[in-house]
Structure formats: structure tokens, C-alpha cells
Amino acid sequence: MRYFCIYLFLVYISDMSVHAQQPQMVLVKGGDYIPLYGTDKNKKEYVNDFYMDITPVTNRAYRDFVKSLPQWYRSKIKRLFADANYLFSWDSDTSYPAEIADSPVNFVSWYAANAYCKCYGKRLPTVHEWEYAAMAGEKVKDARKDSSYIKKILRWYETPKTHKTKVGQSPPNYWGIKDLFGLVWEWTLDFNSIIMTGESRNNAETDKGLFCASGSLGANDLMDYAAFMRYAFRSSLKASFTINSLGFRCVKDVNNK
């Protein structure tokens, strides 16, 4: 798959309209942070430097991907990799309503999102990377203690049909990243990193930790309702699930040039 995508890149290198579909990336400088979830409230996690897409992947960009790899067509994808609602908002394998061209692609499974990122030499963000980038306000690296930051996120969650909104219209955060909140929840790379269950036993086979922008019963700050909602959302999904409020963006390691 990788060599085929490199070939396509070389073929289309003179076509700037194709390159314009790929979200631009910005550098996120790593560091220590205390996650919004976990059992040890004082344990810090270290996040390395990484690049992150400024905006979520759009329908327009995702169409370029499926055209290059038809196995990800709506009509051809195996049910192992996506449920029956995969690309439900599209009109066909390669077309969608014009008004959602630059809106976040949705109804995509973890498998599809992961394949997309790999095709372009990227990957899905880890939970820690996503949360580290998302805790930034417009002026500071960590705005989680700012009540206005939390209230803004909660207001976004209350707004209907945000997945139809064009990407890139929100103010950039400290890193220059947009739309981490307010449009769609987003998949992450690592599953089983946080297990949300009503039982005392964790199921090693579950894939409930595959995504983010979703809630956690183990959140360190129980007053952070926005974080709680993010991790609570996780407990209802599997890797093959596709819904209208779930999309993704990609990241890339700094040494991956």
C-alpha cells in the first residue's frame, strides 16, 4: 500500500489541486503533562514532539484516498473493517453532496482512518498526543483550569449537526491547530490504553480505547465535564463502528520526513 501511495504522489505532484486536499501540519512541541484520566493524579506522561494536521480530514481529501485504493470504496469494504453505515453520507463510492466537500469526513471506522494516514506516510495520534494538543487554549499550552475553555467546549457539544460545518473556521489554539472540538469526535491510534468498564475486570480483547474527543470515569478532575464526556463516548464504540459525529486527523513523527 505504501509504495502504491508514493507512486500516486509522484504522478500527481504537478497537480496542486490534489495536494491542496491534504491538511497542512504544524509542530507540537512535546513535554510533560498530567492526563485528564488515570488512577494516579500526580503521574505525568511525557509526549515527544510531533506534527499534527491543522484540521480534520475532509470528505474531499478522503475521496482522493478511496479513488487511489478502491478496496476502501463503500461498496467494496469488508464488514470486518467497517459496519454497514460506512460513508453513509456519500452518494456513491466516489461522490458526496457538494455542501459537505470541505466538512470533516465522517462515518469512517478506525481501520479506514488508520489506512488513510498510513497511505500518506502519517498515522493516527495516540490518546496522549491528542489530549496534549487539545488541552491548549488560544494563548496557553494548558487551559484546562480555565472555566471559559471548558464552557466553550460544552457549548460546542450541545450544537447539532456540527459535522456538516466546513473545517478551519474556528480560531487556532496555541499550536495553530483548529477544530479539535466543535465538529466531530476523533479516532486515536492506540486502543486499550484507557479501559472504561462497569466491571472490576478489564477485557484485553476490547478496542474501546481506539479514539478520542470522547469520556472517562477515571478522569483526574471530575469537574472537567468536557473531558468526562470525551472518555464516556469511548465506551460505546468498536474499531469497525462508523457514526456521523466521528472523524479523524493525522499526525507524523518529527523524524519522519
DSSP 8-state code for residue 125 = P
- Summarize the confidence of residues 193-197 as an average pLDDT: 53
pLDDT bucket at 88, cuts 50 / 70 / 90: very high
pLDDT bucket at 44, cuts 50 / 70 / 90: confident
Write the DSSP assignment of 79-106 as a string of letters: TTTS-TTTTTTSSSSS---GGGTTSBP-
Full set of structural domains in the chain with CATH: 2-253 (3.90.1580.10)
Task: For residues 215 and 244, give the distance between their C-alpha atoms in angstroms, rounded to a whole number.
Answer: 18
Counting Cβ atoms within 10 Å, is residue 42 exposed (0-12), middle (13-18) or buried (19+)? exposed
pLDDT in tens, 3-27: 545 444 443 333 333 444 678 999 9
Biggest CA–CA distance in the chain, Å, is 56
Name the phi and psi angles at 115, rounded to 5.
-65, -40
54-58, 91-95, 189-193: range with lowest mean pLDDT = 189-193
Give the type of residue at 144.
Answer: R
Write the DSSP assignment of 156-201 as a string of letters: HHHSTTGGGSPTT-SPP-TTS---SSSS-EEE-S-SSSS---SSSS
Give the position of cell 500518506.
Answer: 120
- Summarize the confidence of residues 210-237 as an average pLDDT: 53
pLDDT in tens, 132-185: 999 999 999 999 888 888 788 777 777 777 788 999 999 999 999 999 988 999
DSSP 8-state code for residue 71 = G
Q: Within 10 Å of residue 26's Cβ, how many Cβ atoms?
A: 16
Give the position of cell 496534549.
Answer: 132
Q: What is the pTM of this model?
A: 0.80
